[in-house]
């Protein structure tokens, strides 16, 4: 997107950067850029500093893959969590959506996506190996996972991922379940309301 000579190059660069954000089109990017121009300098610099600090200080949790500012995320450090209950999600934002319900007290595993053969995304591009190793290690340590909830999105990619995990984990874990489908097909878990997620979690069913 370009406004020719109408805008300084620094503003053009900011608009272009903002327009790459999810859900932000060219017009919204322009409005955001001009809002930042009008914002008092301390506020604008605070925003820039927060983005810089986030990039510098966050990393994937060494166990579950969630966003963390330490080696282990807060959930994996929480000793009150049920070690035998594991919820597998596509993205960290899906984890956040489930946590918002306050109903799940197990642990998580973030795949960083879903299987998509048409796009060349196979098990090797996701955190599948880490999941299988985690389940095996829990069994070897005498704290086996008794249930894996596969909370992939209701989409073709999510369904392929669910079936693949069910096949691979079926001999390792006594119970493989999936969330009830309270979401429209093609919707993302991270955008669902809390009541829908809670009901889907409470009414989860075995994977056949």
* Residue whose tokens read 């810089």: 52
Instruction: Please state, for a pLDDT cut of 90, what percent of the chain lies above it.
Output: 77
| CB atoms closer than 10 angstroms to residue 114 | 22
Q: Are 149 and 121 in contact (CB under 8 A)?
A: no
Architecture of domain 7-57: Orthogonal Bundle (1.10)
| CB atoms closer than 10 angstroms to residue 82 | 13
pLDDT digits (tens, 9 = 90+) for 58-90: 999 999 999 999 999 999 999 999 999 999 999
Beta bridge partners of 88: 109, 150
Instruction: Please state, for a pLDDT cut of 70, what percent of the chain lies above it.
Output: 88
Give the residue-averaged pLDDT of 116-135. 96
**C-alpha–C-alpha distance, residues 172 and 57, integer Å:** 36
Give the residue-averaged pLDDT of 104-117. 96
On average, the pLDDT of the chain sits at 90
In angstroms, the first-to-last Cα distance of the chain is 49
Rg of the chain over all Cα atoms, to the nearest angstrom: 20
Closest CA to 183 of 195, 166, 165, 167: 195
pLDDT band at 197 (very low <50, low <70, confident <90, very high): confident
- Position 208 scores a pLDDT of 60
DSSP assigned state of 151: E
Statement: residue 198 has pLDDT above 90: no
- Position 6 scores a pLDDT of 84
pLDDT digits (tens, 9 = 90+) for 160-196: 999 999 999 999 999 999 876 655 555 566 766 777 7
Overall fold of domain 65-206: Dna Topoisomerase Vi A Subunit; Chain: A, domain 2 (3.40.1360)
Statement: residue 3 has pLDDT above 80: no
Give the residue-averaged pLDDT of 101-128. 95
Residue spans per domain, the chain: 7-57, 65-206
């Amino acid at each position: 997107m370009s406004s020719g000579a109408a805008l300084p190059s620094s503003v053009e660069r900011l608009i272009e950067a903002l327009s790459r954000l999810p859900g932000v089109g060219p017009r919204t990017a322009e409005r955001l850029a001009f809002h930042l121009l009008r914002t008092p300098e301390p506020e604008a610099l605070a925003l820039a500093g927060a983005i810089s600090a986030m990039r510098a200080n966050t990393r994937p949790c060494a166990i579950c893959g969630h966003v963390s500012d330490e080696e282990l995320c807060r959930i994996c450090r929480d000793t009150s969590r049920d070690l035998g209950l594991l919820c597998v999600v596509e993205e960290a934002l899906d984890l956040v959506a489930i946590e918002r319900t306050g109903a799940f007290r197990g642990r998580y595993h973030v795949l960083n996506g879903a299987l998509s053969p048409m796009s060349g995304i196979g098990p090797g591009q996701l955190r599948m190996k880490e999941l299988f190793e985690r389940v095996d290690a829990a069994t070897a340590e005498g704290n086996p996972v008794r249930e894996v909830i596969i909370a992939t999105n209701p989409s073709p990619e999510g369904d392929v991922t669910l079936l693949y995990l069910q096949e691979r984990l079926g001999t390792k874990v006594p119970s493989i379940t999936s969330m009830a489908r309270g979401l429209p097909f093609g919707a993302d878990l991270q955008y669902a309301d809390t009541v829908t997620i809670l009901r889907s979690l409470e009414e989860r069913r075995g994977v056949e």
